[in-house]
């Protein structure tokens, strides 16, 4: 039996300007009417109305004619059959562009289910978002804690990451009263900042600093305050806004941290470090209080996997991803001279590879459709830098992995502007140019040196800073090597201090011993600094091998006799050596 063709024609009106190149708006409706070429007793003209949402924000008035050739079931019904082939011809300023597209429309229950690929472009009036599962009802409150654990203009990227995260969550509908921000706040109005009062996190990015609450800044950015905030302990908080995570049993919590790290530790602008076991104990205490439903944690730092490896329980309803595994660095990006490069007036890196990966992923997708697992996979691919781990890292996951099936909006919120964004397009970004987190400070100092006037006092001073920084690095490395030789002999020192435990085992058996050994070293040899944090594994192995505190004191005294332990103190500019 002959099949009646269906023809559709409509005219688009003037262009609709969209606030974002990714956001398209419905421009018009069009009607499709079947026309018979062979009489069919059971067939009459059929009209079906659609809403077209094309990304044509920059195109002026034009005509689009669509010709559908379809086959109806017998007897015909007022909907398309499973297979539809259409050809669209666009006429625009005397230019003809012939577009040939083949796609599948699956019919069921009076609805047409579309391919995900087309989800962001064409939506039928009957296409409504599926209701969420019963256990995903938003009865609770979303909370967020954002932590930039560094200070100094050379660490610009960490505060930029956190400010960007705040803007993303705010657009997603999280209330300011439910977002707690830790940042030193010495970047936006720093004398070197080429745009006073402005922070950017992308070479073409907008200001992300405006409106960010200054809950805990300067001397208030401490591990102790972070623990108190997470536990909702207002009495334990020292200074700041006093804002804490006063969550209830049905609430969800999102924690994001960006800074330097080392085996078993995360940096803070004020001593002491955040130690892994202390942090895990806080999470256990929070869980025991029954004051949240689920928690998601993202951590950007070198060796960040070591914070959770072997000690993160899987039954706390907490899911964690880290920028790197327990043995490798993470990376800064969007740095001067890279592609893409910051505006020419900037002399520091704007972001971190893992951090910009997850935030830019969230901004490109509908978070009511993208799952935590999908974001993990996307971020893992991008942070690996096309599987080149010399300039990329292994994104890891720990804890309650069953949470990954949930949609991201339950933690990061939902921006209505992303309604027509795809849930997950799986696109890989081009490889990124990066710098090792531990070398980003030297990179910044070198940029300052290059841009200073030749022969100026400033240029000479910067060169002295670079020499001092490199000198302290050499001192730290040589001291650790000497201590290893002193404790274990020339043949075993290096291998013992650098040995890595099997996957799944914690860094150290006795975390209090680890703290003690670090204190002994810093008392006699000076602070570890951001660079020296990489030696935390050596101290862990000293503990694991049974060295006593008195033996460690003797070794440090021999290694650092005559060294001024006050050099490169946090109050000095060279602290980040």
Q: What pLDDT, on a 0 to 100 scale, did the predictor assign at position 386?
A: 84
Whether 428 shows a pLDDT value over 80: the answer reads no
**What is the average pLDDT across 527-550?**
97
E strand or H helix that includes residue 550: helix 549-560
One domain, residues 163 and 281:
yes
Q: Would you say residue 38 lies in a domain?
A: no
CB 303 within 8 A of CB 327: yes
One domain, residues 199 and 149:
yes
Q: Would you say residue 565 lies in a domain?
A: no
One domain, residues 423 and 287:
yes
Q: Choose the final residue of a domain: 436, 465, 482.
A: 436
Q: Which residues are catalytic?
A: 260, 302
Domain count, the chain: 2
Predicted confidence band of residue 39 (pLDDT cuts 50, 70, 90): very low
Q: Order of strands across the sheet with 261-262?
A: 261-262, 265-266, 274-275
Q: Return d(Cα 7, Cα 172) in angstroms, integer.
A: 41
Helix residue ranges per DSSP H, 266-327: 276-288
CA 352 to chain centre: 8
Q: Choose the final residue of a domain: 376, 409, 436.
A: 436
Give residues with Cβ within 8 angstroms of 450, minimum separation 6. Answer: none
One domain, residues 384 and 458:
no
Q: Return d(Cα 429, Cα 2) in angstroms, integer.
A: 48
Strand 434-436 and strand 331-333: pairing?
A: antiparallel
Residue 475 sits in a domain whose CATH number is 1.10.132.130
One domain, residues 424 and 503:
no
One domain, residues 234 and 370:
yes
- Note down the domain range covering 268: 142-436
Q: Return d(Cα 180, Cα 229) in angstroms, integer.
A: 8
One domain, residues 407 and 499:
no
Q: Pick the residue with more confidence: 447 or 567?
A: 447
Q: Which of 87-101, 488-502, 529-543 has the lowest mean pLDDT?
A: 87-101
One domain, residues 340 and 465:
no
Give residues with Cβ within 8 angstroms of 173, minimum separation 6. Answer: 142, 413, 414, 415
Q: Would you say residue 275 lies in a domain?
A: yes
Q: Choose the final residue of a domain: 410, 436, 462.
A: 436
255 beta partners: 145, 297
Q: Would you say residue 102 lies in a domain?
A: no
One domain, residues 421 and 494:
no
Whether 192 shows a pLDDT value over 80: the answer reads yes
Q: Would you say residue 475 lies in a domain?
A: yes
Q: Return d(Cα 292, Cα 140) in angstroms, integer.
A: 9
Q: What pLDDT, on a 0 to 100 scale, did the predictor assign at position 26?
A: 34
Predicted confidence band of residue 426 (pLDDT cuts 50, 70, 90): low
The percentage of the chain sitting over the pLDDT mark of 70, rounded to a whole number, equals 73
Q: How many CB atoms lie within 10 A of CB 22?
A: 16
Residue 299 sits in a domain whose CATH number is 3.40.50.1460
Q: Which of 81-95, 179-193, 209-223, 422-436 has the lowest mean pLDDT?
A: 81-95
One domain, residues 346 and 212:
yes
Give the 3-state secondary structure of residue 354: helix
Q: How many CB atoms lie within 10 A of CB 351?
A: 29
Give residues with Cβ within 8 angstroms of 567, minimum separation 6. Answer: 472, 526, 574
Please state, rounded to an integer, the average pLDDT across all residues of the chain: 81
Q: Would you say residue 63 lies in a domain?
A: no
399 beta partners: 319
Condensed to tens digits (0 to 9), the pLDDT of residues 118-176 reads: 233 344 443 444 444 444 455 799 999 999 999 999 999 999 999 999 999 999 999 99
Q: Would you say residue 22 lies in a domain?
A: no
**What is the average pLDDT across 367-380?**
97
One domain, residues 173 and 228:
yes
Q: Return d(Cα 295, Cα 316) in angstroms, integer.
A: 9
One domain, residues 398 and 344:
yes
């Amino acid at each position: 039996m002959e099949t009646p063709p269906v023809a559709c024609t409509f005219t688009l009106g003037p262009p609709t300007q969209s606030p974002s190149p990714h956001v398209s708006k419905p421009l018009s409706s069009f009607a499709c009417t079947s026309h018979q070429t062979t009489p069919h007793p059971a067939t009459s003209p059929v009209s079906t109305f659609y809403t077209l949402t094309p990304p044509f924000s920059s195109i002026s008035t034009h005509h689009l004619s669509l010709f559908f050739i379809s086959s109806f079931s017998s007897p015909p019904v007022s909907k398309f059959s499973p297979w539809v082939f259409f050809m669209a011809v666009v006429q625009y300023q005397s230019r003809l562009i012939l577009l040939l597209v083949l796609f599948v429309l699956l019919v069921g229950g009076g609805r047409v289910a579309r391919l995900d690929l087309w989800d962001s472009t064409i939506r039928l009036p009957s296409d409504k978002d599926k209701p969420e599962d019963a256990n995903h009802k938003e009865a609770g409150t979303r909370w967020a804690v954002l932590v930039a654990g560094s200070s100094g203009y050379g660490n610009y990227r960490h505060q930029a990451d956190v400010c960007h995260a705040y803007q993303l969550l705010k657009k997603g509908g999280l209330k300011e009263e439910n977002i707690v921000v830790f940042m030193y706040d010495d970047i936006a109005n720093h004398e070197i900042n080429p745009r006073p009062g402005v922070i950017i996190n992308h070479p073409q990015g907008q200001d992300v600093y405006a409106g960010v609450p200054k809950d805990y800044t300067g001397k208030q950015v401490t591990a102790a305050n972070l623990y108190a905030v997470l536990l909702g302990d207002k009495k334990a908080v020292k200074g700041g806004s006093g804002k804490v995570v006063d969550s209830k049993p049905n609430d969800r919590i999102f924690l994001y941290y960006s800074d330097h790290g080392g085996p078993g530790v995360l940096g803070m602008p004020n001593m002491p470090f955040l130690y892994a076991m202390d942090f895990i104990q806080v999470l256990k205490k929070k869980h025991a209080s029954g004051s949240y439903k689920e928690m998601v944690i993202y951590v950007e730092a070198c060796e960040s996997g070591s914070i959770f490896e072997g000690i993160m329980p899987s039954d706390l309803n907490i899911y964690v991803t880290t920028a790197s595994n327990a043995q490798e660095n993470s990376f800064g990006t969007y740095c001067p001279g890279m592609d893409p490069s910051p505006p020419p007036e900037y002399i520091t890196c704007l972001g971190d590879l893992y951090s910009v990966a997850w935030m830019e992923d969230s901004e490109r997708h509908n978070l009511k459709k993208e799952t935590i697992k999908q974001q993990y996979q996307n971020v893992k691919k991008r942070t690996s830098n096309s599987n080149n781990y010399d300039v990329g890292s292994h994104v890891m996951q720990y804890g309650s992995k069953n949470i990954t099936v949930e949609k991201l909006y339950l933690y990061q919120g939902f921006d209505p502007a992303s309604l027509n964004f795809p849930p997950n397009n799986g696109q890989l970004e081009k490889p990124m140019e990066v710098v090792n987190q531990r070398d980003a400070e030297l990179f910044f100092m070198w940029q300052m040196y290059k841009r200073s006037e030749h022969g100026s006092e400033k240029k000479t001073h910067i060169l002295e800073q670079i020499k001092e920084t490199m000198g302290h690095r050499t001192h730290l490395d040589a001291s650790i090597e000497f201590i290893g030789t002193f404790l274990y002999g020339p043949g075993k020192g290096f291998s013992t201090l650098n040995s890595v435990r099997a996957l799944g085992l914690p860094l150290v058996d006795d975390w209090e011993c680890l703290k003690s050994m670090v204190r002994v070293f810093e008392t006699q040899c000076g602070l570890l600094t951001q660079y020296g944090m990489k030696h935390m594994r050596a101290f862990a192995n000293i503990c694991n091998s049974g060295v006593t505190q008195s033996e460690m004191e003797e070794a440090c005294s021999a290694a650092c006799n005559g060294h001024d332990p006050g050099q490169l103190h946090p109050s000095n500019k060279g602290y980040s050596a």
